[in-house]
Amino acid sequence: MVVTGLGATTPLGGDTASTWSAMLAGRSGIGRIEEDWAESLPVRIAGRLAVEPTDVLDRVQARRMDRCEQVALIAAREAWADAGRPEVDPERLAVVIGTGTGGALTLLGQDDVLEASGVRKVSPHTVPMLMANGPAAWVSIELGAKGGAHTPVSACASGAEALAQGLDLIRLGRADVVVAGGTEACVCPLPMAGFAQARAHSTRNDEPTRASRPFDRDRDGFVIGEGAAVVVLERASFAAARSARAHAGLAGAAVTSDAYHITAAHAEGQVRAMRGALADAGLSARDVGLVHAHATSTPLGDLTEARSVAEAIGTHPAVTATKSMTGHLFGAAGALGAVATVLALREGVVPATANLDAPDPEVALDVVAGEARAVRARAAVANAFGFGGHNASLVFTAVR
């Protein structure tokens, strides 16, 4: 399986190139929330989109879409163009777009409208805007994909699980091309208040760009972000027949569940995911030269993953944690991590983990810090873990 197209719109940039450039430069996309609604919250920082989707999409179309649908469509368009707009039988083209919360902004916003103004003021587009499968549906309509439009909803593992499902669809002979990724847009009071009450958020309101600090001794929680990332996956023979450029190979994937706790991470399930993905790819731990860590900047979560990586793969790979710059994009996080991993393999350079000023002495990994590092890896693992005990690991291979 090969990755032939990449698309993203994130707090670092409105497309893949600008996002990647910012990652390599160590720039942060996290800032203060200036809207009045944030003043009453204990957390007033977030990774907001660098480019507003309404500046890109047709105005009428944008009004009928939730923000998470808008960014999914933007990222999918870029990925499809990057892949050269493959000519494929519509019934052999599938879409898999994961999300953690779906149209949360629509749901909460329209509930406010209902309470304040009554049923007649509620938008007739409310249901298609709030439904979790909306992003996949819009992308399938855009591309004319008739091979299925699927929506994994597995919290912060959703985007990575979408790629794993896309891999399965092609292997099972149900598609030749799959557009897969993740999307999220829920920077609003209720989810932010909920995470704050759970003490999952960083409270560094006075220094937003330094708030997300994976693997740092002084990390105090994640920073919420928004955006989308999408890739085009193709059967290798299909891509070769049309002389398509391959950015990297998607060689294996594994999805596991902890069956342990609704929010707490569990090393055993993470280890099984990484080992399962490597076995699926037919590779060993020694083949891995890079790990894109889930690493959200929470005290317990980062340490659990560090121990899991050391057990499943070892301490030899270079490790990067790009949420230090983007914040945590929830359902889009695994897909954006996949895009960053593919680019790192293709370019032979790994972004540094920002804000790693005092490495946690309990983290026995080679975490890239300070500046981007040249690494010519044969294979890389990208992790994504989520509330509910969801674990997804992807194995990418370099194309030389």
Residues known to be catalytic:
156, 294, 328
Query: What does the block give as tokens for 82?
Result: 């990057």
Give the strand pairing for 373-374 and 349-350: antiparallel
Helices in the chain by DSSP H: which ranges? 16-25, 59-63, 67-82, 104-117, 126-130, 134-143, 158-171, 189-197, 236-241, 267-281, 299-312, 323-326, 333-347
Distance CA 295, CA 24 (A): 18
Residue 26 bridge partners (DSSP): none
Distance CA 274, CA 262 (A): 21
Query: What does the block give as tokens for 4?
Result: 């032939």
Element containing residue 96 per DSSP (H, E): strand 93-99
Distance CA 331, CA 284 (A): 28
Distance CA 162, CA 76 (A): 13
Residue 350 bridge partners (DSSP): 373
Query: What does the block give as tokens for 255?
Result: 């999805």
Residue 265's SS3 state is: coil
End-to-end CA, the chain: 15
Angle, to 10 degrees, between the axis of helix 267-281 and the axis of helix 299-312? Answer: 40
Q: Which strand ranges, in their side-by-side order, compose the sheet holding 379-386?
A: 149-150, 93-99, 177-184, 227-234, 2-9, 248-257, 390-397, 379-386, 288-292, 318-320, 366-367
Residue 249 bridge partners (DSSP): 2, 397
Distance CA 330, CA 222 (A): 11
Element containing residue 231 per DSSP (H, E): strand 227-234
